[in-house]
Amino acid sequence: MRRLHFVSSIAAIFLLLIPTVRAQSPDRGADFTGTYEFVGPLLAIGPCDGRINGKWETRCNNFPYSDAGKEKSIAAIDDGSVDCIPDGLARLNTRTLYDIQIWHEPKMVKIKYQFGDIVRTIHLDGEPPPADTARSRHGYSIGKWMGDTLHIETTHLEPAFFAPGTDGRVRGATSEQAKIIERWWPAPIAGNLLMDMVLDDPVNYEHAFLLHRREWSATELGELEPWDCVPASELLFEDDPDLDKFFEN
């Protein structure tokens, strides 16, 4: 009952924030076509560490961990992203230095992330995931328009982590049972987009919670620059590592 209460509360918050619904085509509510850059978070639950009383301290309890979730972490050196393995969806949506591109196709929306050259398909046909859908780091996403707000529910996710800390560990585990709910809608600034992301994972967290809210600003860029990742293993263990090249990526 406690879990249902929290999920219902988040749903109620979302309903209060949804713009007025109007009649529309079932596969198009608003035109999000464009390239966008990160502006800054309106609200961020995390990251895992922050400055408290002038000192950097771990405060991972910002997340409503279950007992199992508290125990899960990996060493930063084992984090796949340092060797160009794509992020899981929860983390990919919080990357701040990379652009995204959105376009519409019949009964679907496409989102391409510069980080990792990842292309997501948001299915708008109203059908559930096929029975043989494989798990992946970005899962299977089903979208629905409510006015100009695109609601997305993603399942079939592989386990991943999303909260790197300052203590050499990465926390914020997500399990195979995790579900990510997003809202994308027009910002008050013309051309910009707002995005909310809720994580619901009954294995690692006590209840669903708002993980991140951010704003994307429209740019005049066309295609995204290609992803040119340099694996840390190729640079940091060389006799003369090119650290500038590594940190540029």
Domain ranges of the chain: 2-221
% of the chain surpassing 90 pLDDT: 45
Average pLDDT over residues 104-123: 94
What's the CA gap between 19 and 151, in Å, rounded? 12
Q: Which helix (H) or strand (E) holds 51?
A: strand 49-52
Token pair 């987009």 is found at 193
Predicted local confidence at residue 47, as pLDDT? 45
Predicted local confidence at residue 54, as pLDDT? 47
Q: Is the CB of residue 119 less than 8 Å from the CB of residue 109?
A: no
pTM of the complete model: 0.77
pLDDT tens digits for range 20-37: 333 344 456 899 999 999
Q: Is the CB of residue 101 less than 8 Å from the CB of residue 223?
A: yes
Q: Is the CB of residue 163 less than 8 Å from the CB of residue 47?
A: yes
Positive or negative: CA dihedral 11, 13, 14, 19? positive
